[in-house]
Amino acid sequence: MIKKLLPHPALTITLIVVWMLLANQLTLGGLVLGVIIGVVIPILTSPFWPDRPRVRFGPATWIYIAVVLWDIVAASFQIAVIVLFRRSKDLRSAWLVVPLDVRSPEAITMLAGTISMTPGTVSCDVSSCGRALLVHALDTPDPAAEVARIKRRYEARLKKVFA
Amino acid sequence: MMLDAGPIEILISAILVVGGFFALVGSWGLARMPSLMTRLHGPTKVTTLGVGSCLIASMIYFPATQGKYSAHELLITLFLFLTAPITANMIAKAHLHRQGRSIDPNPMDDIAEGLPETGLGTGWATFEGQDAERADPPR
Amino acid sequence: MTHWLVAPVLLPALLAPIMLLFLRKRLMESRVLSIGACLSLLALAGLLMAQASTGTTQTYALGDWQAPFGIVLVLDRLSALMLVVTALLALAVMIYAVVTGLDRRGWHFHPLFQFQLLGLNGAFLTGDLFNLFVFFEVMLIASYGLMLHGGGGARLKAGVQYVVVNLVGSTLFLVAVGLLYGATGTLNMAHMGQRVAEAPAGDHGLIVAGGLLMITVFALKAAIFPLHVWLPRTYVSTSAPMAALFAIMTKVGAYCILRFTTVVFGESAGPLAWAPAPYLLPAALATMLVGFIGVLGARNLRHLAAFSVVGSMGTLVSAIAVFTPEATAAALYYLPHSTFAAAALFLVSDQIARRRGAFGDALSPSPVFSGAGRLSGLFFLTAIAVVGLPPLSGFPGKLLILDAVRDAPGGWWIWGFILGTTVISLLAFARAGSALFWKSAATAGEIKAATPAAPVAAALVVTGLLGVLTVLTLAGGPITTYLNATGQQLFEAGAYGGAVLGPG
Amino acid sequence: MIEIAVLFAISCVGLAMALNLWRLARGPTTADRILALDTMTINAIALMVLMQIQQGSAVYFEAALLLAMVGFVGTVAYCKFLLRGDIIE
Amino acid sequence: MTLAWIALLPFLGALAPALAIRLGRNACALATGLVTTTALVLLLSLAPQVMAGEVVTARISWFPSLGLNLNFFLDALGLMFAGMILGIGLLVIIYARFYLAKADPMGRFFAFLLLFQGAMVGIVLSDNILLLLVFWELTSLSSFLLIGYWRHLPEGRQGARMALTVTGLGGLSLIAGLLILGQIAGSYDLSVILQSGEAIQASPMYLPALVLILGGCFTKSAQFPFHFWLPHAMAAPTPVSAYLHSATMVKAGIFLLARLWPALAGTEAWFYLVGGVGLFTMVFAAAVALFKDDLKGLLAYSTISHLGMLTFLFGLGTPAAAVAGVFHIINHATFKAALFMNAGIVDHEAGTRDLRKLGGLVTLMPIAATLAVLAAAAMAGVPPMNGFISKEMMLEEAVGAQAFGLTWLVPAVVMVGILFSAAYSFRYVVGVYFGPKRESYPSKPHDAPFGMWAPSALLVILAVAIGLAPALVAGPLVNAVAAVVTGGAAGEKHLSLWHGLNLPLAMSVAALVGGGLLLAAHRGAERVWLGLGLPDAKAMFDKVTEAAARAAQRLTEAVHNGSLQRYMFIILATALIVALAGFVSADYVEGARATLPAPGAAVVAWVLLVGGATAVVLGHRHRYLALIFISVIGLIVSLAFVFLSAPDLALTQISVEVVTILLLLLALNLMPKTTPIESSGGRRLRDGLLAAVGGIGMAGATWALLRREGPPSISEFHWANSYSGGGGTNVVNVILVDFRGFDTFGEIIVLGIAALTIFALLETAGRGASGRRLATWSPDQRRSPEHHPMMLVVATRLLLPLALVVGLYIFLRGHNEPGGGFIAGLVVSIALLMQYMASGYAWADRRLPVDHHGLIGFGVLVAALTGLAAMALGAPFLKSAYEYVSIPLIGDVGLSSALAFDIGVAFTVVGAVMLALHHLSSTAQRAEKSPASDQPMDIDPSRTVAEPPARPAGEGA
Amino acid sequence: MSIEFLVATAVGVMSAAGIYLVLRARTFPVVLGLAFMSYAINVFLFASGRLVINQPPIYGKEVTAYTDPLPQALVLTAIVIAFGMTALVVVLALRTYLETGTDQVDGLADTPEATPPPPEETAVLGPEPPSPVAPSREAGR
Ligand code: NA
Ligand code: NA
């Protein structure tokens, strides 16, 4: 019953927040409307999201978000430096293959997205079995270390979010 | 005016300068990098952050100057951060597909020898999907 | 508050979605509803004509927003006339389409047909220039669907041309609206007329350019030379009933030229009065010539019919281009005549082509075919109507025009062209009929019918149209009385504006 | 001060868009052009936000939001076309 | 009113034979005869009054404002002609009953004949020249049917066509002439026109009117050079020829000359034009007739000759000549009808009409021979036949006439004419009935049945009677008619056989003797005649019409060559020229509105737009690239809109843009990806020039508008009443859904129809040539095997609800802030399309069981019903209402009927967009050989069984 | 340099591009041309209400300056209609191509002297790129 009514509780919360952001004012009426929307829309769209990934809103999640946000900022500076100052022929571009432990498509996507938004790496493809990510690194002296960093810094944390 | 600049103004200005700078750098990277894979990095991260900065600046600016609180910018940022990696991923896939396994046969690029194996016995999705054989059209 | 005025728009606007929602797979019900709708529209149009014939110009403020701020529908004698013509033609075409099963040969025939009527009726009623654009688009897009209905390669190819040409036309329409709005600050045609009259001299260049561009767009719809080029292939390629229905589409162009010019550039427009007029007459004359030369050079019946539409538009617009009440009245007599005559010609051509199997409508002899007697009679009468010979209405129609334009500048040119092109078309139709019926009678062989012959009811539709022409002829007195009043009404300075915008 | 910062940022974004155009025209691969277009869209969002600050007006927001959403769909469609020809299959 | 009935009876009666034929041929002929007899009796009942000098009239209003009314009048001239038409008509009907073969459809024949008869009677009874025109043209049409009656004969077809074309041409000339005449006289009624002779002849328009009217008369009465149609009209059945060439059709032209004589005759122009043409025709046609071997050909040219003589007589312009003309009309009708019937009998019985195969029939067909001798004598002008008397009268007038100051010219020419006339008359009789009997004739000749020769006998008796006692038999009528024609100037003329020994008699005798001699020397004369090598007018006519038709065909096909490229060029160039011409034709003063300084970003945007446009134009042959480039334009335009205070526009542009791109990409998939270079350099230059001029024009127009203030816009009202009257603060939206809601109503209908048409187009794509092409379609690009990339699928799943929330938000705020139903509908559509794109058509479609047609219908209906609700409350359609209602927990909510209207808009938009794209993509599925899997993503690791990787993770190259 | 000048010239450029493209021989460029014309006309129609910055037509009691909302409403309607029309013409072009095998606007078959365009990956405005290993065009054959 609950599952039918709230197919994606996290989504419901997100939508309520989004609605409040859109409405741009904190009124009771707006909140009621937001709740209605947050409940109704996931029900309407649930056929398009048949899987139910379990997302935990624990500290792990917040830590993960913080780490990623920080890395995005750092990444940008790093890339900026490369873009501005590094000569093209000095670039140490490399392909990385990141073997995956996470299995849910949501988690893999999250990881891939994180990789893309963080320093010097863009995830380009998934293996056809879904167990490895193809990542392009703009400038990396040690590809293996980079892979290890990705698995440690992001994948390990993600596993806790998608428990 | 400049003399009146309070800390908030300075903060906003700084964020704006940083935002503009990142936006420019991202596009500069796009323009000057030697190959598509290297060009992909600038816009994905730097430009997105540049836009994000502008949005944050806006988010601070309106409450600070006009007393109008607005969180709309947060939504745009959310959207951009959600979509930027997917965009990059799709462009990369399209590029991989168009160029074949030998990526970026560009003399400026040192990864011309091709894609690595997955190491799992299977291929990359772009090249070897469920119906790889059928999909290759007759030459 | 009387709502009759909006009914010709609302009726199809409601029926079409209802058919779409509930009758998509129910042909019989759709047919009954469609024919019923056509009949109701006819009755409605008749009622409105009766109201208009009192001479008062009625308006209907949509959304209760008065002109010039909101959109108003305006009913005067002219629009009532156009509604009646449309409804009559629609009824005939709908019956023909049903009895020949055209409506079964594709999707959404009946809703599209209703939408087409909606666009036409709206265009004839609206008093707002931009709203006219919207109804043009409704009318056009429905016509695309109907034009393509039934499919086939040639139809599709021609459809591309038809659609593209009209899209460019719509673009030009908007350019004109932009210029006129920018220069006058209004969209209501009556109001625009007042603004044009008051406009400072420095604005005149833009206003005239906008006005002429507007006329150009209408001329494109009306198939006026050299903008007529799209018409023949379109009309030839579509199904006969749709070509027959499209006979009214060219008249929309003519109607708009008349309405727009009299309201916006009318007598009261001061220095800009009748500014578009000088361009129209030479173009109309050339249209007549090109049309009837095309009739003479046609290789098949449908080309003949299509070019005769072009030619008759030249005749019609040449009378309009004179811009006098008398010539307008004459043109308005010729308008329904040429509409029904063209429709009859397309429909009779279709029946002939069906009977001739693989020989189709080519103007070359085929072996004798069944029903040739009846069809030759219908063809003969239709040809008489199109050429403009007595006893059908083409003859008084042309006489009325000749009589009315005599004293106008360029009147002798119109005489020469009308009489000259009548000779050409006479020769052409004589050749065509002779090849189709007389030579065929002497050609050996047998026809294997490829397409099912049209039922007798199809011939009855043509007979009905010819009957309408007969009524037009026999009732010439009362009809011309109405039309003369229409002409007077259109040219009465400030009358339209007063009715739409209120006194003062 | 903010005015100057905004002006600076706008100039940067404007310049960035010009660079995007250069890449768009120059290519050389189709993916480069898609990327250039996508970046241009994102820069346009930045421009809208900056103009919003410059003018002190809030009407740019929906446009920016919609552009973010729609730019993504467009880019995906372009890529999908390159990959499969058929964008909806 | 009797008069109107006489004119209309044959028309109404035309149904009688058509119906009676079911009862048999006799019934058919009887019915026809009854109609004509009735009309004749009615006519004769009026005769006493008319002969007493009274004019009988009937007036029925028809087109009063035009002056075209059913006004009839009967005077002596009308009586004479109507009597001839109906009387000879009756004889022809009797004759035709026996003449027509069993196979000939008699009902049709008599129906046509009655139509023709009615038209002729109408001409002679009309008091209104426009009405006369109606009947005039009707004679052309009905004679066309009669001449072409034997549709299997090529001569019949050609003859009919030629007759119609020539007389039709003349008819149009006549229209012009009579309209001018009416204008000069101030009325189209003959009774008025005939009173205005002096005014007419004094008018500067007299000469044009005269020439145009004569154009009608001469073509109808086959005067040179329009004579050539008449001999070919002989292809008609002989009864028709007899009728057309004696009393009717050709006489219509003569009738009109006589009718208009008081108004037009007497001037120099009339004398030379009418008299000259008549005289020449008389001589020329007589000469031709002499060398015709076909009996009917001979008679046809003799008709032309006699018509020439009549024309000549009326052309002389003297009252006495007019009397002679009137008298000869009667005489000619009697002997010519008789001769035609005779020729028909010969043809019928001997099986040929060729003089070279005939001869010596006098013993085989004594009755026919007797009749022929008498009728031909009348034609030759042998006393005591009626033709002799009128010829003498003609000669008398000819002797007195002088042309170009020469007194001998006219008599000399006339002399030649009557000499030939005598010769061909003799030739007819001698060639058919006398001379050696032939070995055999195509069929065995014997005298015809009574019914066939009786009508001609009657006519011959009449001819003899008139000849012997002209004053008694014809005198009163001729005098009465002459009085009408000349307006009483002729006085009483005593008709007599004997005029005394005078020059005309001498000429007559000389002509008869000379004619005999000429016949004797026929063979030699024929050689001379053929040696002249006169051009064949019919061949020339044929050549001219054929050439005209071919030229028309070539011209038409050259102009309308089916090239859209050309059409577009013509249309665009015309629009440009016309607009430019309009612009320069009136004053223009540059406006003084202050301009806004452009910030740098605007300049950059401009550069982007121009660069994008250049890229599209230069790169348009790579279609896919062009699509990428064109997106730049959309982006910049959206930016411009938002910068220039048009947020609604920007939102709409942005969302429309992407749907359009999706649509174009979907279509491009199945189409060629490149455009070949087909236009020549010259054409591209030409197109480029037009584009440049057009661009400059548009830029100039924009600039001109932007630089001036212009009058106050009606939108000031919208601004002022948006909130108070429309209940919304977004004025644009209030305009859309309220002030101009009717526009929006139409607009969603356009969208709906577009989708319906797209559906109808694509629904049939699987059939026919298109279906085959789809079935054999193979992708023209290398394709990645992956259909549904995992990451994309995951992202869109999250984006869908987000986008829906945004859509809802945009919808709800639209009335007060930028947004509204249309944009919301597009946003929702885009969100749904994302699912289709990512997860695949089949998968998404199963999850969206929505009837798109229904959505469209529902949307339009909701919008319409919103408007109707107002009507139910007595307000006009689409009148809006709004109310702020308090809802528990939510608070005050502004509810506007416009919101319901906007719901309709949104539903229509979603329905239309989804319907279109849905069917576009399903069309592509038909072409797909390896359908995508049902799974929403190709790779779903959560579905695959977890197993350890084959070997440790490989690392980057 | 004024905004008015930029807008006017932009309208001119878009119109010119539109006119040139609708005069091409294939349906697809013609569709692009129509799209261009639509852009041009939308901006033009919008401009008929004159240009104003930062005064959106959102009514407020304290707001006194505003841009002319009417042309905006007209352009909105025009955009929607143009969208419907474009959709239709695109599908019609596709359908015609499927039915007849040619996308010539005149419905004629490809002319033999028609020359193929240069390879796709060539820069439109820039110099030739190095030749790719697996050029997509060849792969497509
Ligand atoms: Na809106
Ligand atoms: Na709208």
d(CA E98, CA F140): 83
For E142-151, the pLDDT digits (tens) are 999 998 888 7
Is the peptide bond preceding residue E225 cis, with omega within 30 degrees of 0?
Answer: yes
Q: Where are the beta strands (DSSP E) in E619-704?
A: none
With residue C59 as reference, give the H or E element that holds it. Answer: strand C58-61
Flag if C178 and F27 touch (Cβ within 8 Å): no
E501: left (phi over 0), alpha (psi -120 to 50) or beta: beta
Task: Tell me how far apart the alpha carbons of residues C484 and C318 are, in angstroms, rounded to a whole number.
Answer: 18
**Among B120-124, C413-417, D72-76, which is the least confidently predicted range?**
B120-124
Give tens-digit pLDDT for E758-772: 998 998 888 888 999
Which pLDDT value is given to residue A130? 86
Helix (H, G, I), strand (E, B) or coil at A132: strand
In which band, very low, low, confident or very high, does the pLDDT at E893 lie, cut at 50, 70 and 90? low
Rounded-to-integer distance, Cα A107 and Cα A125, Å: 15
Rounded mean pLDDT of E930-935? 72
Q: Among all chains, which residue has been given the structure tokens 């240069």?
A: F118
> Which residue from B32, B74, B89 is facing A123, i.e. has the nearest CB?
B89
Please tell me the distance between residue C62's alpha carbon and the centre of ligand 1 in angstroms: 20
A86: containing domain: 59-161
Nearest to residue E777, comparing CAs of B133, D86, F26, F104? D86
pLDDT at F107: 62
Over residues E138-157, the mean pLDDT reads: 87
In this structure, which topology does domain F3-126 adopt according to CATH? Helix Hairpins (1.10.287)
What pLDDT, on the 0 to 100 scale, is given for residue E356?
A: 84
Cβ contacts of D71 on chain E, cutoff 8 Å: 658
Distances (CA, A) of C462 to C350, C456, C466, F134: 11, 10, 6, 65
Check residue E294 and report its DSSP letter.
Answer: B
Percent residues over pLDDT 70 in chain C: 99
Cβ atoms of F15 and E695 closer than 8 Å: yes
Alpha helices of chain B — where are they, by DSSP H?
7-32, 36-39, 41, 48-66, 72-99, 132-135
SS3 content of chain F, % helix, strand, coil (to 5): 55, 5, 40
Given an 8 Å threshold on Cβ–Cβ distance, is F132 in contact with B105? yes
pLDDT higher at F92 or E847: F92
Better pLDDT: C172 or C269: C172
Please write the tens of the pLDDT for every residue from E784-802: 888 889 999 999 998 999 9
Inspect the structure and tell me whether chains D and C have 3 or more CB pairs less than 8 Å apart.
Answer: no
CB contact under 8 A, C156 and F99: yes
Sign of CA dihedral C337, C343, C345, C348: negative
ipTM over 0.90: yes
Per residue in E38-79, pLDDT tens? 999 999 999 999 998 889 999 999 999 999 999 999 999 999
pLDDT at B2 > cutoff 80: no
- Helical H segments across C356-493, by residue range: 372-387, 394-405, 411-433, 440-441, 456-474, 476-491
Contact D47/E601, CB-based, under 8 Å?
Answer: yes
Residue F123: partners with Cβ closer than 8 Å, 6 or more residues away: D25, D26, D27, D28, F129
- pLDDT class for F123, splitting at 50, 70, 90? very low
Contact D27 F56 (CB under 8 A): no
Per-residue confidence at F130, pLDDT binned at 50, 70, 90? very low
Residue F51 to residue E818, Cβ atoms within 8 A:
no
Interface check D25 vs F, CB under 8 A: yes
Contacts of E608 in chain D (CB under 8 A): 17-18, 21, 40
- Our CA angle for E909, E912, E913, nearest 5°, is 85
Q: Which of E783, E799, E802 sits opposite B135 (nearest CB)?
A: E783
Do A22 and A89 fall within a single domain?
no
Mean pLDDT for the stretch of residues C311-333: 96
Contacts of C207 in chain E (CB under 8 A): 586
CB-based contact D15 B27, cutoff 8 Å: yes
Tokens of E787: 């259909």
Residues 6+ apart with CB under 8 A from E272: E403
Question: In sequence order, what DSSP letters do the residues of D72-85 get, joined into one string?
Answer: HHHHHHHHHHHHHS
User: Do C496 and C263 touch, CB atoms closer than 8 A?
Assistant: yes
C179 contacts in F (CB within 8 Å)?
48
3 state SS of F11: helix
Mean pLDDT estimate for chain C? 93
φ, ψ (nearest 5 deg) of residue A121: -130, 145
SS3 sequence, E372-404? HHHHHHHHHCCCCCHHHHHHHHHHHHHHHCCEC
A67 shares its domain with A146: yes
Please tell me the distance from the alpha carbon of residue E137 to that of residue C37, in angstroms, as a whole number: 40
Residue E944, pLDDT score: 59
Q: pLDDT for C212-253, tens place per residue?
A: 999 999 999 999 999 999 999 999 999 999 999 999 999 999
Q: What is the pLDDT of residue E665?
A: 94
Judged by a CB distance cut-off of 8 A, whether residue B120 touches chain A is yes
Do E762 and F95 contact (CB within 8 A), yes or no?
yes
Hey, are the CB atoms on B27 and D38 less than 8 Å from each other? no
Kindly state the average pLDDT of the residues C163-167. Answer: 95
Residue closest to C343 by CA, chosen among C97, C98, C33, C137: C97
Q: Closest-CA residue in chain A for E889?
A: A29
Whether pLDDT at E886 is above 80: no
Tokens 């001061």, residue?
A: C270
- Report the alpha-carbon distance of residue A84 to residue A95 in Å, rounded: 22
Label residue D76 exposed, middle or buried (CB < 10 Å: 0-12, 13-18, 19+): buried
DSSP E59: E
Query: pLDDT at residue E830 above 90?
Result: yes
Q: Give the E-state strand segments of E209-333 in sequence order.
A: none
**Could you tell me if C155 and C238 are in contact, meaning their C-beta atoms sit under 8 angstroms apart?**
yes
Q: CB within 8 A of B106, min separation 6: which ones?
A: B34, B35, B112, F130
Q: What is the pLDDT of residues E716-769, one digit of tens each?
A: 999 999 888 888 889 999 999 899 999 999 999 999 999 999 998 998 888 888
**Looking at CA atoms only, how far is residue E548 from chain D in angstroms?**
54
Measured CA to CA, the distance from residue F121 to residue B127 in angstroms comes to: 21
% chain E with pLDDT above 90: 49
Mean pLDDT of F26-32: 94
Q: What's the pLDDT score for residue B113?
A: 60
User: What pLDDT is stored for residue B137 in this prediction?
Assistant: 40
Three-state secondary structure readout of E459-514: HHHHHHHHHHCHHHHCHHHHHHHHHHHCCCCCCCCCCCCCCCCCHHHHHHHHHHHH
Chain C CB contacts of E590 under 8 Å are 202
**How many independent structural domains does chain D possess?**
1
In sequence order, the 6+-apart residues with CB closer than 8 A to the CB of E233 are E143, E147, E159, E160, E162, E163, E241, E244, E300
Residue E937: per-residue pLDDT? 83
> Using the beta-carbon criterion (under 8 Å), do E643 and D51 form an inter-chain contact?
yes
Domain count, chain A: 2
Q: Do C137 and F88 touch (CB under 8 A)?
A: no
Give the three-state DSSP class for E56: strand
Which residues between 871 and 900 in chain E have a beta carbon less than 8 angstroms from any beta carbon of chain A?
A: 887, 889-891, 893
Average pLDDT, chain E: 88
pLDDT for E217 beyond 90? yes
A44 at E interface, C-beta within 8 A: yes
Any contact of F with E, at least 3 CB pairs below 8 A?
yes
Contacts E652 to D, Cβ<8 Å: none
| Rounded (10°) CA dihedral B90, B92, B95, B100 | -110
Q: Which residues of F touch E630 (CB under 8 A)?
A: 32, 35-36
The answer to whether position D89 is within a domain reads no
pLDDT of residue B111: 53
Neighbours of E407 (CB within 10 A): 12
Shared-domain flag, residues A31 and A100: no
User: Looking at the predicted structure, is the pLDDT value of residue E949 above 50?
Assistant: no
**Mutate: best of A49, A98, A117, A136, partner E, most E CBs <10 A:** A49
Sorted by where each begins, the domain ranges of chain F are: 3-126
Q: pLDDT band at residue C465, thresholds of 50, 70 and 90?
A: very high
For residue E680, what pLDDT is reported?
86
β-partners of residue E57 are E73
Q: Tell which of F37, F50, F94, F104 to mutate to test the C interface (max C CBs under 10 Å).
A: F37
Q: What is the pLDDT, as a whole number, of residue A89?
A: 80
Backbone angles phi, psi at A96, to 5 degrees: -115, 145
pLDDT digits (tens, 9 = 90+) for A56-88: 778 888 899 999 989 988 888 888 888 888 888
Are the beta carbons of C264 and C196 closer than 8 angstroms?
yes
Q: Which of E215-219, E953-957, F126-130 has the highest mean pLDDT?
A: E215-219
Mutate to test the interface with E, among D6, D65, D89 (most CBs of E within 10 A): D89
Residue E448, both tokens = 């015809």
Does a structural domain hold residue A53?
no
Residues with CB under 5 A from ligand 2 (ion): E 736, 744, 747; F 76-77
Per the model's pLDDT, the better-predicted residue between E261 and B62 turns out to be E261
Interface test with F, best of B36, B66, B95, B98 (most F CBs within 10 A): B98
Residue F139 has what pLDDT?
35
Helix (H, G, I), strand (E, B) or coil at C454: coil
Q: Tell me which chain E residues have a C-beta less than 8 angstroms from the C-beta of B117.
A: 954
According to DSSP H, which parts of E814-891 are helical?
821-839, 841-846, 852-872
User: Looking at residue F113, what DSSP letter applies?
Assistant: T
Q: Which of C308-312, E372-376, E399-403, E923-927 has the highest mean pLDDT?
A: C308-312
CB-CB contact of C183 with C210 (8 Å): yes
Place of tokens 């209501």: C188
A147 contacts in chain E (CB < 8 Å): 953, 955-956
CB contact under 8 A, D44 and E639: yes
**pLDDT value, residue A153:** 92
CA angle A124, A128, A130 (to 5 degrees): 80
Q: Which residues of D touch E669 (CB under 8 A)?
A: 81, 85-87
- C-alpha span between A104 and A155 (Å, rounded): 12
E740, E762, E852, E902, best to mutate vs chain C, most C CBs in 10 Å:
E740
Q: Check which CATH number belongs to the domain holding D43 and give it.
A: 1.10.287
Which of A79, A95, A129 has its CB closest to that of B46?
A79
Q: How many helices (H) and strands (E) does chain F have?
A: 4, 0
List, edge to edge, every strand of the sheet that includes A121-126: A94-99, A132-137, A121-126
Q: Name the neighbours of B, counting chains with at least 3 Cβ pairs within 8 A.
A: A, D, E, F
Residue E891: per-residue pLDDT: 63
Q: Same domain for A42 and A112?
A: no
Q: Do E795 and B82 touch (CB under 8 A)?
A: yes
Contact B71 A99 (CB under 8 A): no
Domain B7-109, second-level architecture? Orthogonal Bundle (1.10)
Describe the crossing of helices E741-763 and C129-148 by its angle, rounded to 10 degrees. Answer: 10
pLDDT of residue B102: 64
Task: Print the domain residue range for D76.
Answer: 2-84
C372: tokens are 């040739």
Mean pLDDT of B28-40: 90
pLDDT, average across residues E793-819? 88
Q: How confident is the model at residue C504 (pLDDT cuts 50, 70, 90)?
A: low
* Helix, strand or coil, per DSSP, at residue F119: coil
> Looking at the complex, does the CB of residue B109 fall below 8 Å from at least one CB of chain A?
yes
Q: Are F118 and D24 in contact (CB under 8 A)?
A: no
Lowest mean pLDDT among C200-209, D15-24, E859-868, E922-931: E922-931
Helix (H, G, I), strand (E, B) or coil at A135: strand
Number of H helices, E strands in chain E: 41, 4
* pLDDT of res. E363: 84
- Checking F51-54 for CB contacts under 8 A at 24+ apart, the result is F51/E596, F51/E644, F51/E706, F51/F3, F51/F4, F51/F7, F52/E644, F52/E645, F53/D55, F53/E596, F53/E643, F53/E644, F53/E645, F53/F3, F54/D55, F54/D56, F54/D57, F54/E645
